[in-house]
Structure 1
């Protein structure tokens, strides 16, 4: 979903959550948010505050840039293009 400035915030929350076997409810409980908030975040319907983004990155033990981007992430398994390397 676009932010007021017109830019969407893309994320890999669902990917990391699934990869690590964490349910939406478990993630929500760890972050102190409602489990539906996790769904809104994953679908891009809600952009997190900086505080929440940093807490998510800390939970997954990754840099915030691994979790969030202003440009879409490449699809997993997508073929590399000449500009990728």
Structure 2
């Protein structure tokens, strides 16, 4: 299925990919952002920001969310494993 640019919406290619799998898991579980937020003790806005990649979850939040869905942390948040290495690499270059 090809999505055309009509000037009113972005084409499929222009829509940024998600930095994590939270939205996918939440949709598959058929739960709202509100329900997930309540279950992991945070705000709905936080869940939305994490899904969009605006904010990375704290380690504790990432574990609470992965425990909720009963999946390994790297399955839900694959990019979290890369970020500490990138930061370490930046320190070694100075």
Q: What TM-score does the superposition give when structure 2 sets the normalisation length?
A: 0.63
Aligned with 1:11 (options 20, 25, 41): 20
What residue ranges of structure 2 are gaps of 5+ in the alignment? Answer: 1-17, 81-94
Partner residue of 2:65 out of 27, 32, 56: 56
Larger RCO of the pair (alpha carbons < 8 Å, separation 6+): 1
Which structure has more strand as a fraction of its residues?
1
**Where in structure 1 do 4 or more consecutive aligned residues deviate above 6 Å?**
none
Residue 29 of structure 2 corresponds to 20
Between Structure 1 and Structure 2, how many residues are aligned? 63
Measure the CA separation in 1 of the matches of 2:79 and 2:73. 12
1:42-65 deviations in whole A, cap 9, x for unaligned? 000000110000011000000001
1:10: Cα distance to partner? 2.3
**RMSD after superposition:** 1.7
CA distance, structure 2, for counterparts of residue 27 and residue 41 of structure 1 = 12
Q: Distance in 2 between matches of 1:31 and 1:70?
A: 20
- 1:37 and 1:19 map into 2 onto residues whose CA distance is 19
User: 1: distance between equivalents of 2:20 and 2:62?
Assistant: 10
Give the corresponding residue for 2:52: 43
